[in-house]
Amino acid sequence: MLTPHLEAKIDDIAKIVLMPGDPLRAKYIADNFLTNVKVINNIRNMLGFTGYYKDVKITVIGSGMGIPSMGIYSYELYKFYNVDKIIRIGTCGAYIKDLELLDIILVNNSYSESSYALLQNNCNEKLISATEKLNDKIEEIAINNNIKIKKGNIHTSEVFTPYMTNINIDVPLNQYNCIGAEMEAFALFHNAKIFNKEAACILTVSDSMFKNNDISPEDREKSLNQMIELSLKTAINL
């Protein structure tokens, strides 16, 4: 065991990692999209798997919820397991009316009020970019496979938006042009930056303050599958 949180051997983890927030979604991806799958982590039930997608070795592991959890796992993958690229695949809430439920977003930059970067290495940045080259490849794959995506900035919040007593999105929306909110990308992008690695984030809109949130399980699964397939097809073309 190389870290307190991951029990995998170095060779067990691929250079390309897909990270959903939910460890059970990691299992879903392994069960439905990968072949020759090996369980590489069970610690704290943060399930991780390595397998093959069209003969390319890929690891998929949960990040957990929130900046601290993503911060731990992405840090350890980059630093101790020599991972080169991490693509977060998750869900988000919409801040603008133009976003429809189940739209797929490719994140350009993450804004956060979090002190994570400041505490981690005295970085005062509040807006951190995804890796442009990796985003360009994701966009190319989306176009080639007729997968519609929208691009924009995301607010990485430390509080689940529906639980806020006074929802005020003026700063992320109007100052940083954030089109939605999630809870992990900022830590991932920061860690990629400090290790000179690559990171991207693809999100599916799961809720909106402007829409009826009644989505059928079938529609949700279909849309999440499209996001998963986009990340996998990108991974084998890097």
pLDDT single digits (tens) 20-64 = 999 999 999 999 999 999 999 999 999 999 999 999 999 999 999
* 17 vs 85: CA distance, rounded Å: 6
Catalytic positions: 207
| pTM, rounded to two decimals | 0.95
DSSP string, 20-74: -SSHHHHHHHHHHH-EEEEEEE-GGG--EEEEEETTEEEEEE---SSHHHHHHHH
Neighbours of 189 (CB within 10 A): 29
91-144 pLDDT per residue, tens: 999 999 999 999 999 999 999 999 999 999 999 999 999 999 999 999 999 999
Q: Residue 231: name the closest of 109, 58, 78 by CA.
A: 58
Out of 28-42, 90-104, 156-170, 189-203, pick the least confident: 156-170
- The structural domains of the chain, ordered by start, are 10-235 (3.40.50.1580)
- 112 Cβ contact partners less than 8 Å away, ≥ 6 residues apart: 67, 126, 155, 156, 157, 158, 186
- Find tokens 């989306």 and name the residue: 142
